[in-house]
A and B are shown apart, each in its own frame.
Chain A
């Protein structure tokens, strides 16, 4: 157990729908990062939050949004889902806002859009 908790583990939904993925970082970690892992794209950085504020943005679609709450858990919202959004979504956390020592990943949420 890495200490980073992601729920749900699996999600199956239809095109056009909206889903919310949840992440609880390791105790003491202030930064949360979201990554998308698809078969043909590898791991792609989406977005980072640090202590409730957005810190960095990667290849995140406008249909996707995220936030980090005062208790430091984070949610990734995916809307108007398309078949191509099917992927593993990973959350990672780190103590600081920088990645000097890498970060710890959760086990991921497998999203299947049908």
Chain B
């Protein structure tokens, strides 16, 4: 498959454990955020989003937390599975630049069986 992010920070977790992936975003005017998952050889895939008027949003096995004070976003994955192994990106969208997302550099999640 494709090699993406050879120099990315890596988080290694044991199967069944919870994972927390962090992201510091850059612009205090950002008001919409998405977490994407990118598996080898594939394009980024939407996981969960959150708007700036929320602090927390839950999906299936995933939770996103937003701390606007420190411009920090986190993705929590419960009961991590081998299929969760991928590179995870946070992306921010600023209302005035509504057409484009600014992506973070990504974190590689490695799930050990």
Min distance, Cβ A50 to any Cβ of chain B, angstroms:
8
A16, CB-defined interface residue at 8 Å: no
Q: Inside 8 A of B32's CB, which chain A residues have their CB? A: 99-100
Docked-complex contact A48 and B7, CB < 8 angstroms: no
- Interface residues on chain B, size class: 20 to 34
Docked-complex contact B104 and A56, CB < 8 angstroms: no
> How many pairs of A and B residues are in contact by the CB < 8 Å rule?
70
Q: Inside 8 A of B45's CB, which chain A residues have their CB? A: 2, 105
Closest to B102 in A: A45
Docked-complex contact A98 and B43, CB < 8 angstroms: no
Interface residues, chain B, with chain A CB atoms under 8 Å away:
2-7, 32, 34, 36, 41-46, 49, 89, 91, 93, 97-106
Q: Interface 1/0s, chain A 80-109, versus B by CB < 8 A?
A: 000000001010100001111110111110
In the assembled complex, the Cα of A107 lies from the Cα of B38 at a distance in Å of 10
A62, CB-defined interface residue at 8 Å: no
Q: Inside 8 A of B3's CB, which chain A residues have their CB? A: 39
Q: Inside 8 A of B4's CB, which chain A residues have their CB? A: 37, 39, 88
Min distance, Cβ A97 to any Cβ of chain B, angstroms:
7
Docked-complex contact A105 and B105, CB < 8 angstroms: no
